[in-house]
């Protein structure tokens, strides 16, 4: 984490807040202001009530995500698929080799209350750890899993955690609970970018996300043993909370402002008993504002890669897929070869990810699919509004949707009319891409 922060600083991608901020609402308000101004990360050096700094918006830029996974000339989708395919055939003895472990360094033991306790939203029940990456082992096979789960601070000894039913960690916990056993887990609160991105991956149940992180790093994953549980954690994790999910125990958690932009109300959720807390001297807590660009950009990117894989296997000419500015939308960039290809792509996309494809749009290759203004321009200027849109009623969507608010699909073919492409060619200004405004406009 500290190396990543230094690299952002060297690139001019880090803002630093020197004045003290209150972790109750003020810190989140400043993060929102930073994100409204651009995609820079922000480091808070002084947070009231703690000696530890906080960093936010590390992953709020799509271009930064491409850099983290070493996309090079590839799109994020292409590189992510390459990494996930490699992960599924990786030799774990090489990726998690004993020769690479352990490398611990000096860690300080402390309490949860020694960490910055950030309350983000007006109605949040209290402080939350929002970048909470849980590491646990499958009870039978021992395969490790990384996954994100919001964690409400209750005391130095207790967190309350919402485990989404579709997540592997929820399946691990249920399997242990059926045996009357607690599930040991470690909570990583200051992870390097490879660990963070690996936790975003949707891999098969028996796949190893730590192997994914090692592939992103391009080096074996160095591990260190936990103090109080039978688990190894990445040596590069600067803040680690050890503990266990108690079997057959649930307690009230919430409300909390979630990624969809509204509150999830109080519900009975899992109890995580804390057994040890440690951090590396100089550690920085990662505070992620849920529903902000830092939360959405990684989710959008990995979802787009999953849809890209599915659609490109069925329809030719798929160049790229974006799920920006919200994971509920899918935008497909096509190089068309036949009439109706856009509609074929729409149908393929709707069947690719039944949770999130609420709106699907197909566009030509000259459209910027990361700019919704440009996408809507294509729909509004390149044909009729009625015959190019399809509404599919009562299609289930989004697994946490008891009131069916996310049912149904809207599909829009915003490509140019087949055979009339010359009529819709964009106007251009010669040399516009080569202009450096600083050469023409005085600064200051």
The three state secondary structure string of the chain is: CHHHHHHHHHCCCEEEECCCECCECHHHHHHHHHHHHCCCEEEECCECCECCCEEECCCCCHHHHHHHCCCCCCCHHHHHHHHHHHHHCCCHHHHCCHHHCCCCCCCEEECHHHCCCCECCCCCCCCEECCCEEEEECCCCCCEEEEECCEEEEECCEEEECCCCCCHHHHHHHHHHHCCCCEEEEEECCCCHHHHHHHHCCCCCCCCHHHHHHHHHCCCCCEEECCCCCCEEECCCCEEEEEEEEEEEEEEECCEECCCCCEECCEEEEEEEEEEEEECCCCCEECCCCCCHHHHHHHHHHHHHHHHHHHHCCCCCEEEEECCCCCCEEEEEECCCCCCHHHHHHHHHHCCCCCCCCEEEEEECCCCCCCHHHHHHHHHHCCCCCCCEEEECCCCCCCCCCCCCCCCEEEEECCCCCCCHHHHCCCCCCCHHHCCHHHCCCCC
- What is the per-residue pLDDT across 11-36, written as a single tens digit (0 to 9) for each? 999 999 999 999 999 999 999 999 99
Closest by CA position to 366, among listed 389, 352, 382, 385: 382
Contacts of 440 (CB under 8 A, 6+ apart): none
The pLDDT value recorded for residue 101 is 45
- What is the per-residue pLDDT across 382-391, written as a single tens digit (0 to 9) for each? 999 999 999 9
Is the CB of residue 234 less than 8 Å from the CB of residue 195? yes
Beta strand pairing call for 183-188 and 133-137: antiparallel
- What is the per-residue pLDDT across 310-364, written as a single tens digit (0 to 9) for each? 999 999 999 999 999 989 999 999 999 999 999 999 999 998 888 888 999 999 9
- What does the alpha-carbon distance between residue 148 and residue 59 come to, in Å, rounded to a whole number? 14
Q: What is the phi/psi pair of residue 245, to 5°? A: -80, 125
User: Where does the pLDDT of residue 201 fall: very low under 50, low under 70, confident under 90, or very high at 90 and above?
Assistant: very high
Residue 17 token pair:
């807040």
Widest distance between CA atoms in the chain: 71
The pLDDT value recorded for residue 353 is 82
The CATH architecture assigned to 314-418 reads 3-Layer(aba) Sandwich (3.40)
Is the CB of residue 237 less than 8 Å from the CB of residue 199? no
Residue spans of the domains in the chain: they are 61-287, 314-418
The pLDDT value recorded for residue 93 is 57
The upper half-sphere exposure of residue 337, i.e. CA atoms within 13 Å in the direction of its Cβ, equals 7
The pLDDT value recorded for residue 104 is 52
Cα angle 215, 220, 223 (rounded to 5 degrees) comes to 120
Cα angle 376, 382, 387 (rounded to 5 degrees) comes to 90
Residue 343 token pair:
């509609």
Does the pLDDT value for residue 61 go beyond 50?
A: yes
Is the CB of residue 238 less than 8 Å from the CB of residue 248? no
Residue 167 token pair:
């997540």
| Most confident range, picked from 252-261, 366-375, 403-412 | 366-375
- What is the per-residue pLDDT across 212-239, written as a single tens digit (0 to 9) for each? 999 999 999 999 999 999 999 999 999 9
- What does the alpha-carbon distance between residue 281 and residue 107 come to, in Å, rounded to a whole number? 7
User: Where does the pLDDT of residue 398 fall: very low under 50, low under 70, confident under 90, or very high at 90 and above?
Assistant: confident
Q: What is the phi/psi pair of residue 200, to 5°? A: -80, -15
- What does the alpha-carbon distance between residue 118 and residue 288 come to, in Å, rounded to a whole number? 10
- What is the per-residue pLDDT across 106-150, written as a single tens digit (0 to 9) for each? 889 999 999 999 999 999 999 999 999 999 999 999 999 999 999
**pTM of whole model > 0.75?**
yes
- What does the alpha-carbon distance between residue 309 and residue 78 come to, in Å, rounded to a whole number? 9
Calculate the average pLDDT of the chain.
92
Q: Under CATH, what is the fold of the domain 61-287?
A: Pnp Oxidase; Chain A (2.30.110)
- Give the C-alpha distances (Å, rounded to integers) separating 444 from 20, 101, 437, 438, 441: 29, 53, 13, 11, 10
Mean pLDDT of all residues in 284-293: 95
Residue whose pair of structure tokens reads 């190019």 in the numeric block: 388
- What does the alpha-carbon distance between residue 407 and residue 378 come to, in Å, rounded to a whole number? 26
**Which residues does residue 233 pair with via DSSP β-bridges, in sequence order?**
224
């Amino acid at each position: 984490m500290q190396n990543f922060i230094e690299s952002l600083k060297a690139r001019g991608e880090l803002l630093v807040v020197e004045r003290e901020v209150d972790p109750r609402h003020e810190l989140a308000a400043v993060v929102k202001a930073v994100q409204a101004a651009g995609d820079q990360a922000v480091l808070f050096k002084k947070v009231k009530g703690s000696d530890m700094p906080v960093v936010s918006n590390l992953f709020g830029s799509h271009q930064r995500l491409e850099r983290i996974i070493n996309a090079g000339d590839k799109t994020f989708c292409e590189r992510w698929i390459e990494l996930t395919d490699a992960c599924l055939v990786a030799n774990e003895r090489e990726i998690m080799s004993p020769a690479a472990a352990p490398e611990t360094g000096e860690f300080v033991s402390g309490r949860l209350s020694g960490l910055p306790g950030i309350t983000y939203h007006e109605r949040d029940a209290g402080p939350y750890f929002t970048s909470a990456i849980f590491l646990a082992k499958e009870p039978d096979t021992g395969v490790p899993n990384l996954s994100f789960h919001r964690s409400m601070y209750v005391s130095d000894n207790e967190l309350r955690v919402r485990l989404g039913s579709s997540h592997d960690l929820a399946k691990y916990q249920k399997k242990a609970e059926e045996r009357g056993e607690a599930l040991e887990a470690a909570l990583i609160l200051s992870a390097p970018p490879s660990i963070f991105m690996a936790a975003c991956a949707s891999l098969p149940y028996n796949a190893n996300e730590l192997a994914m992180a090692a592939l992103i790093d391009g080096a074996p994953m160095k591990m260190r043993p936990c103090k109080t549980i039978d688990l190894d954690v990445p040596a590069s994790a600067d803040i680690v909370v050890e503990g266990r999910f108690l079997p057959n125990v649930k307690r009230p958690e919430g409300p909390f402002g979630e990624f969809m932009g509204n509150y999830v109300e109080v519900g009975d959720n899992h109890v995580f008993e804390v057994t040890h807390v440690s951090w590396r001297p100089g550690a920085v807590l990662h505070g992620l504002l849920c529903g902000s660009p830092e939360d959405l950009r990684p989710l959008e990117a990995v979802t787009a890669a999953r849809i890209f894989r599915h659609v490109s296997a069925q329809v030719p000419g798929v160049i790229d897929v974006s799920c920006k500015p919200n994971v509920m939308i899918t935008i497909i960039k096509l190089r068309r070869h036949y009439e109706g290809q856009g509609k074929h792509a729409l149908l393929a996309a709707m069947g690719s990810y039944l949770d999130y494809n609420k709106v699907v749009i197909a566009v030509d290759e000259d459209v910027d699919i990361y700019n919704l203004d440009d996408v809507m321009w294509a729909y509004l200027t390149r044909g009729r509004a009625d015959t190019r849109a399809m509404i599919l009623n009562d299609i289930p969507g989004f697994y946490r949707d008891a009131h069916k608010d996310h049912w149904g699909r809207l599909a829009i073919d915003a490509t140019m009319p087949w055979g009339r492409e010359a009529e819709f060619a964009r106007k251009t200004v010669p040399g516009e891409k080569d202009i450096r405004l600083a050469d023409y406009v005085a600064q200051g």
